Chains A and B, each alone.
Chain A
Amino acid sequence: EPEVTQTPSHQVTQMGQEVILRCVPISNHLYFYWYRQILGQKVEFLVSFYNNEISEKSEIFDDQFSVERPDGSNFTLKIRSTKLEDSAMYFCASTPRPIYGYTFGSGTRLTVV
């Protein structure tokens, strides 16, 4: 079964550093998403991406965050200057059509120290 692939699985970074989280969505999917889950809390929407542009973003997704689809396969989330509160599990997801439900990747655990 096709999978959404995320790398790295775990990243530790110092506060103030930039990080790039990488995702390879399923190849024929058109909609892409980033979510995060702070330990012990709910899964929160960050951003949706369709037709090479952001279609929606949450209040969390401020100027420190950006997304890119630099080529036909990768979908990246960049955090420019990490804060301690950015420590969370970040999930990428994709779908051919939202009502079908999303396929999630296995996540990147980001730890900011």
Chain B
Amino acid sequence: AQSVSQHNHHVILSEAASLELGCNYSYGGTVNLFWYVQYPGQHLQLLLKYFSGDPLVKGIKGFEAEFIKSKFSFNLRKPSVQWSDTAEYFCAVIVGGATNKLIFGTGTLLAVQP
């Protein structure tokens, strides 16, 4: 079965630190990859997405992610985090073919300390 793994369940950083959140998926075919963010008490918002072309994708709020096909990875990065980035981050994948459902990872809770 397809799955999405996020290695870090809880990350604590100080403001201005760099961020990298890991994401791996377990499907070898065509995939579309996403990162969603959920701020406290709010709904899921799309940060960025990849479905073809340049493997380095840029999203909102200074986030970017790199698709490395050989590693089945789609890690999220931000060079300098802010307190307002405190949220839960979900990696998600749509597998090409019969299904069009979004499969989520378990999420990474990021706490940024001022």
Binding site for B on A (CB under 8 A): 31, 33, 35, 41-45, 48, 50, 55-56, 91, 93, 98-107
Dominant SS among interface residues on chain A: strand
Which residues of chain A have C-beta atoms less than 8 A from B36's C-beta?
Answer: 104
| Contact residue among A33, A100, A105 (Cβ-Cβ distance under 8 Å from B101) | A33
A103 touches B46 (CB 8 A): yes
7 further A-B pairs in the complex, CB-CB below 8 A; given A42-B106, A45-B101, A56-B101 = A42-B105, A93-B44, A98-B102, A99-B94, A101-B32, A101-B102, A106-B43
Dominant SS among interface residues on chain B: strand
B44 touches A43 (CB 8 A): yes
Binding site for A on B (CB under 8 A): 32, 34, 36, 42-46, 49, 51, 90, 94, 99-107
Q: Which 8 pairs from chain A and chain B are nearest by CB? A: A98-B100, A104-B44, A43-B104, A106-B43, A99-B32, A42-B106, A101-B46, A101-B49
